């Protein structure tokens, strides 16, 4: 009986579902684009946000941690500040922040592994005397592991997931450069002396960049947003069952819902531009109407740029991601308070 119990305890538990993979959208490859040195000294930089989260996790013992429950207004303010800071980051800064996050997750995983080994050592040193005591010990060990997993998620994984989601809501520095180059080319007189395929290539660049930003092919109908059933995480968490994959999926769905809600006019503007550029190849304008067609396309490019700016403004205050964040924080805080006897 003791041997079978040890084997049971050595098996992966459902509550150990911690994965470091989180891809909020296909991203355009980052360039080595360098900003001026003084641009690296900004207020509320994301790297300081990550560093503080790591220091909190490393400096405080688990027994001294007390979960907090930020209010929606506080979460909105922090998310707005962080998104503005992320927009100013250079590619090297992004790489450094991602490295720090990976290191923090490795340390969290190491703490989990250490606890599992410590529990196994104690069971071998003092085996349970009967099946009832063995069951009690198993339950206690599982609760201890769950508490650590939840603490790791709140203090390490969740901040990293949120940063990735917030960063995915805007064009990268390289993608913004490509966007600016394409819109400039579409308005250039020199490009109009080339075959229509040249203009179509620039229009396609805008479509590709927007599709990567929004997470779907904008030449197709927009996907229906998934329901944000936070109860799928809250109810099991209240019973002591932690599944990080469910939490991560809720964040992904919320982020996608925010993008869809903020991007309608942008998508419509790009689809209109694509149709106008495509028409040049099928029905080339006569000499006397070419100038009017050029002006129409320049106006469509201006509208596309304007709608991208409006999307950037709307996405900062989009609320679905923050609602899920608050739900995850509240559910995990309630569990940790109850588990610690508070």
Structure confidence by residue, pLDDT tens digits, 195-220? 888 899 999 999 999 999 999 999 99
CA dihedral 223, 225, 226, 229 (to 10 degrees): 180
Using pLDDT thresholds of 50, 70 and 90, give the confidence band for residue 76.
confident
Mean pLDDT across the chain: 81
Instruction: Assess whether pLDDT exceeds 80 at residue 55.
Output: no
Q: Is 17 helix (H, G, I), strand (E, B) or coil?
A: strand
Confidence of residue 77 (pLDDT cuts 50, 70, 90): confident
**What is the count of structural domains for the chain?**
2
CA neighbor of 162 nearest in space, from 53, 311, 30, 56: 53
Last residue of a domain, one of 147, 168, 189: 168
Residues 263 and 300 grouped into a single domain: yes
Tokens standing for 333?
């805080």
> Domain boundary residue among 120, 150, 168?
168
188 and 89 share a domain? Answer: no
Shared domain check, 221 and 142: no
Domain ends where: 168, 192, 221? Answer: 168
Cα dihedral value 180, 221, 87, 28, nearest 10: -70
Beta bridge partners of 243: 17
Tokens of 302: 């201006």
Residues 156 and 235 in one domain: no
What share of residues in the chain are helix, strand, coil (percent, to 5)?
75, 0, 25
- Domain membership flag for residue 52: yes
Predicted pLDDT of residue 69 = 62
Lowest average pLDDT, out of 25-39, 72-86, 237-251, goes to 25-39
Q: Inform me whether the pLDDT recorded for 70 exceeds 90.
A: no
Tell which residue, 331, 326, 327, 330, has the closest CA to residue 74. Answer: 326
What is residue 228's predicted lDDT score, i.e. its pLDDT? 87
Same domain assignment for residues 151 and 282: no
The partner residues of 17 in beta bridges, in order of sequence, read 243
pLDDT score for 58:
39
Q: Is residue 198 part of a domain?
A: yes
pLDDT (average), residues 169-190 = 93
Quick one: pLDDT at residue 299? 95
The DSSP secondary structure of 139-197, one letter per residue, reads HHHHHHHHHHHHHHIIIIIHHHHHHHHHHHTS--HHHHHHHHHHHHHHT-HHHHTS-HH
pLDDT at 200: 93
Q: Evaluate if pTM is beyond 0.85.
A: no
Say whether both 1 and 135 belong to one domain: yes
Give the range of the structural domain holding residue 303, as residue numbers without chain letter. 171-342
Return the higher-pLDDT residue of 294 and 156. Answer: 156
Same domain, 331 and 263: yes
| Shared-domain flag, residues 136 and 262 | no
Say whether both 226 and 283 belong to one domain. Answer: yes
In-domain check, residue 30: no
Same domain, 206 and 333: yes
């Amino acid at each position: 009986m003791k041997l079978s119990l040890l084997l049971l305890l050595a098996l992966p538990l459902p509550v150990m579902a911690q994965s470091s993979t989180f891809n909020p959208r296909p991203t355009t490859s980052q360039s080595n684009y360098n900003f001026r040195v003084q641009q690296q000294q900004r207020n509320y930089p994301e790297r300081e946000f990550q560093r503080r989260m790591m220091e909190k996790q490393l400096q405080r013992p688990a027994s001294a941690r007390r979960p907090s429950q930020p209010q929606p207004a506080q979460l909105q303010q922090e998310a707005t500040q962080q998104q503005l800071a992320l927009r100013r980051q250079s590619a090297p800064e992004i790489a450094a922040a991602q490295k720090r996050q990976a290191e923090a997750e490795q340390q969290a995983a190491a703490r989990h592994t250490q606890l599992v080994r410590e529990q196994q050592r104690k069971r071998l040193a003092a085996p349970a005397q009967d099946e009832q005591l063995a069951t009690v010990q198993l339950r206690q060990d599982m609760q201890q592991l769950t508490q650590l997993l939840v603490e790791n998620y709140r203090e390490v994984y969740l901040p990293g997931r949120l940063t990735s989601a917030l960063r995915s809501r805007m064009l990268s520095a390289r993608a913004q450069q490509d966007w600016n180059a394409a819109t400039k080319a579409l308005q250039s007189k020199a490009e109009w002396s080339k075959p229509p395929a040249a203009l179509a290539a620039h229009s396609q660049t805008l479509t590709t960049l927007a599709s990567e930003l929004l997470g779907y092919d904008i030449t197709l109908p927009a996907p229906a947003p998934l329901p944000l059933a936070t109860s799928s995480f809250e109810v099991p968490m209240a019973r002591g069952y932690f599944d990080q994959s469910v939490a991560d999926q809720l964040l992904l769905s919320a982020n996608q819902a925010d993008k869809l809600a903020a991007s309608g006019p942008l998508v419509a503007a790009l689809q209109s531009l694509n149709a106008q550029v495509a028409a040049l190849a099928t029905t080339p304008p006569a000499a006397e109407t070419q100038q009017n067609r050029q002006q129409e396309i320049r106006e469509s490019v201006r509208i596309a740029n304007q709608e991208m700016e409006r999307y950037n403004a709307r996405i900062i205050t989009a609320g679905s991601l923050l609602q899920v964040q608050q739900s995850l924080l509240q559910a995990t805080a309630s569990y940790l308070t109850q588990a610690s006897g508070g």
